[in-house]
Amino acid sequence: MTAKIKPSQGSPYARILGVGGYRPTRVVGNDEILKHIDSSDEWIRSRSGIATRHWAGPEETVAMMSVEASGKAIAAAGIDPAQIDAVIVSTVSHFKQTPAIATEIADRVGAGKPAAFDISAGCAGFGYGLTLAKGLIVEGSAEYALVIGVERLSDLTDLEDRATAFLFGDGAGAVVVGPAQEPAIGPTVWGSEGDKAEAIKQTESWEIYRGRTDVSDVRYPAITQEGQAVFRWAVFEMAKVAQEALDRAGVRADDLDVFIPHQANMRIIDSMVKTLGLPEHVTVARDVATTGNTSAASIPLAMERLLATGQAKSGDTALVIGFGAGLAYAATVVTLP
Ligand SMILES: CC(C)(COP(=O)(O)OP(=O)(O)OC[C@H]1O[C@@H](n2cnc3c(N)ncnc32)[C@H](O)[C@@H]1OP(=O)(O)O)[C@@H](O)C(=O)NCCC(=O)NCCS
């Protein structure tokens, strides 16, 4: 006889309860980037919108930045860290395959014995993590989940590559997701286009180190990209994904308060705002100017800054969309914590 399995009991809905961020103390201006590439401050600002970014020092590890951001998110959520049942860390710049850095972070934030794992979804990583967290809470495997996007992309930057040297930054953003009595995280529109995966990639795999004792002639694997192809894809395809997320959430552009797109390039952000026809009253995150592209950390960092500076407020309706390596993407509409 087949035994009857009880269904799991989750919360009807989930919401973001608190957000926190950590930016490394060292601010790197375009002047420092220009020591290595033939370019100009004017070119970098006009083509990317980036004026400064933060680069981590030796002490500002992936774990340290995550713990700092998480502590603030947990405090903002007003929960005891021991209530966290799941820790999801999205990163491409933690260099150990195992154990998951999520386990160390979970321990250091005082989360007890939660499920803890890392995901790799590049710049879509925050949206992927948020979607997983919502699923766990609604399905009943977690009551509270900590979602962290964290990167030390300076470790993966080729300072001599004109196409990328100025783009990347480091930092961590974290949110606590918990139960809700009404919808506060909309349906996620997500996916990947593996046929274009080569458009953003590491120059080498870690395989280059296999069996070698002297690696002095080996170039450290860096992130490289086909800038124009990625730009076109982001501008044309991601606006459609963002619109679909609005449609599926039943939210019109007019009803939106805030737009938090992945912070990759100011021109991509401007183009999406135009294509989506966002009205003037919508606050647009433009954190890329002083944070650069921090991949999985970019959306929670931008969210935290908008709330901290009063440009957005708790309860606002925000469209978030991340996109990048893979080429993976994820968009959803959320109520801000
Ligand atoms: C990287 C990016 C800013 C480059 O801007 P772009 O306008 O596409 O630049 P292009 O590569 O077409 O180059 C345009 C010109 O600038 C020059 N150029 C390239 N890099 C330069 C630099 N760092 N400084 C000065 N000139 C540069 C090129 O040589 C080219 O000159 P030419 O017209 O004489 O041939 C842009 O492609 C981009 O932002 N792409 C998407 C990046 C992104 O979001 N990636 C992450 C997604 S998660």
- For 157-220, where are the E strands, in sequence order? 170-180, 189-192, 200-202
Q: Using the predicted structure, report yes or no on whether residue 66 has a pLDDT greater than 80.
A: yes
Among 161, 235, 238, 265, say which to mutate for ligand 1: greatest number of ligand atoms within 8 Å of CB: 265
Greatest CA separation for the chain: 74
Cα–Cα dist 321/332, whole Å: 7
Q: Reply yes or no on whether the pLDDT at 219 is more than 80.
A: no
Q: Is the pLDDT of residue 10 over 90?
A: yes
Ligand 1 centroid vs 122 CA: distance in angstroms?
Answer: 20
3-state secondary structure (DSSP) of residue 244: helix
Do 25 and 173 fall into the same domain? yes
Supply 31's token pair: 């002047």
Cα of 325 vs centre of ligand 1, distance in Å, is: 17
What percent of the chain lies above the pLDDT cut of 70? Answer: 99
The values of phi and psi at residue 286, to 5°, are: -130, 40
- pLDDT reported for residue 247: 98
Phi-psi region at 186: left, alpha or beta (left = phi > 0; alpha = psi -120 to 50):
beta
CATH number of the domain at 24, please: 3.40.47.10
CA 96, chain centre distance (Å): 19
Domain membership of residue 8 (yes or no) is no
Task: Give the residue, by CA position, lying nearest to ligand 1 atom 42.
Answer: 227
Is 1 domain-assigned?
Answer: no
Q: Is 225 in the pocket of ligand 1 (CB under 6 A)?
A: yes
Please indicate whether residue 324, judged by its CB atom, sits closer than 6 Å to ligand 1. yes
pLDDT tens sequence across 156-182: 999 999 999 999 999 999 999 999 999
Interatomic CA distance for residues 149 and 302, integer angstroms: 12
Asked if 37 and 170 sit in the same domain, the reply is yes
For residue 204, pLDDT over 80 is answered with: no
18 and 163 co-located in one domain: yes
Encode pLDDT of 293-303 as tens digits. 999 999 999 99
Question: Rounded to an integer, what distance in angstroms lies between the CA atom of residue 322 and that of residue 228?
Answer: 18
If asked whether residues 159 and 197 sit together in one domain, one would say: no
Beta partners for 152?
170
Residue bearing the CA closest to ligand 1, atom 8? 228
Does residue 5 sit within a domain?
no
Same domain, 325 and 256: yes
Tell me: pLDDT of 9 over 80. yes
Which tokens is 24 given?
Answer: 């490394």
Strand segments, DSSP code E, in the chain are 13-22, 26-29, 52-55, 84-90, 115-119, 144-152, 170-180, 189-192, 200-202, 223-225, 258-261, 283-284, 317-324, 328-335
pLDDT over threshold 80, residue 287: yes
- On whether both 107 and 204 belong to a single domain, the answer is no
Task: Show the tokens assigned to 13.
Answer: 């809905």
Query: What is the arithmetic mean of pLDDT over 224-244?
Result: 95
Looking at every residue in the chain, the average pLDDT score rounds to 96
pLDDT of 248 reads 98
Q: Under a CB-based contact definition with an 8 Å cutoff, are residues 331 and 189 in contact?
A: yes
**Other Cβ atoms within 10 Å of 113 Cβ, number:** 11
Domain total for the chain?
A: 2
299 within ligand 1 shell (Cβ under 6 A)? no
d(CA 156, CA 147): 23
Does pLDDT of 217 surpass 80? no
Name the residue type at position 75.
A
Structure tokens at 48: 């990317």
Domain end marker among 132, 163, 180? 180
The pLDDT tens digits of the residues spanning 107-139 come to 999 999 999 999 999 999 999 999 999 999 999
Q: What percent of the chain has pLDDT over 90?
A: 92
Do 200 and 141 lie in a common domain? no
Distance between Cα 47 and ligand 1 center (Å)? 7
Out of 180, 197, 230, a domain closes at: 180
Q: pLDDT value at position 209? A: 78
Amino acid 113: pLDDT: 97
Residue 280 DSSP one-character state: T
pLDDT at 5: 95
Which of ligand 1's atoms lies nearest the C-alpha of 325?
48
pLDDT at 216: 74
Angstrom distances, CA of residue 186 to CA of 85, 175, 219, 248, 332: 22, 16, 43, 8, 6
- Residue, of 203 and 149, whose pLDDT is higher: 149
Q: Is the pLDDT of residue 214 over 90?
A: no
Burial class (CB in 10 A: 0-12, 13-18, 19+), 210: exposed
Query: What spacing in Å lies between the alpha carbon of 171 and ligand 1's midpoint?
Result: 24
pLDDT, average across residues 261-267: 97
Mean pLDDT over residues 185-209, rounded? 91
pLDDT of residue 210: 80
Active site residues: 123, 262, 293
The reply to whether ligand 1 has any atom less than 6 angstroms from the CB of 162 is: yes
Q: What is the pLDDT of residue 206?
A: 75
Of ligand 1's atoms, which has the minimum distance to the CA of residue 323? 48
State whether the beta carbon of 163 lies less than 6 angstroms from ligand 1: yes
Q: Is 88 helix (H, G, I), strand (E, B) or coil?
A: strand
- Pick from 81-85, 108-112, 225-229, 246-250: least confident: 225-229
Confidence (pLDDT) at 165: 96
Res 104 pLDDT > 80: yes
**pLDDT the model gives residue 277:** 96
Q: What is the mean pLDDT of residues 50-59?
A: 98
What is the structure's pLDDT at 48?
97
Tell whether 171 and 296 lie within a shared domain: no
154 domain residue, yes or no: yes
Smallest CA separation from ligand 1 atom 41, residue: 231
Q: Which of 137, 152, 180 is the last residue of a domain?
A: 180
Per-residue model confidence (pLDDT) at position 220: 72
Mutate to test the pocket of ligand 1, among 228, 235, 323 (most ligand atoms within 8 A of CB): 228
Q: Which domain holds residue 213?
A: 189-335
Report the nearest-CA residue for atom 44 of ligand 1: 264
Question: Residue 288 Cα, ligand 1 centroid: separation in angstroms?
Answer: 16
What is the Å distance from ligand 1's center to 163 Cα? 6
Closest CA to 176 of 106, 84, 62: 84
Query: What's the one-letter identity of residue 51?
Result: A
Could you tell me if the CB of 265 is within 6 A of ligand 1? yes
- The answer to whether the pTM exceeds 0.75 is yes
Segment 63-72 mean pLDDT = 98
CA pair distance 287, 266, nearest whole angstrom: 9
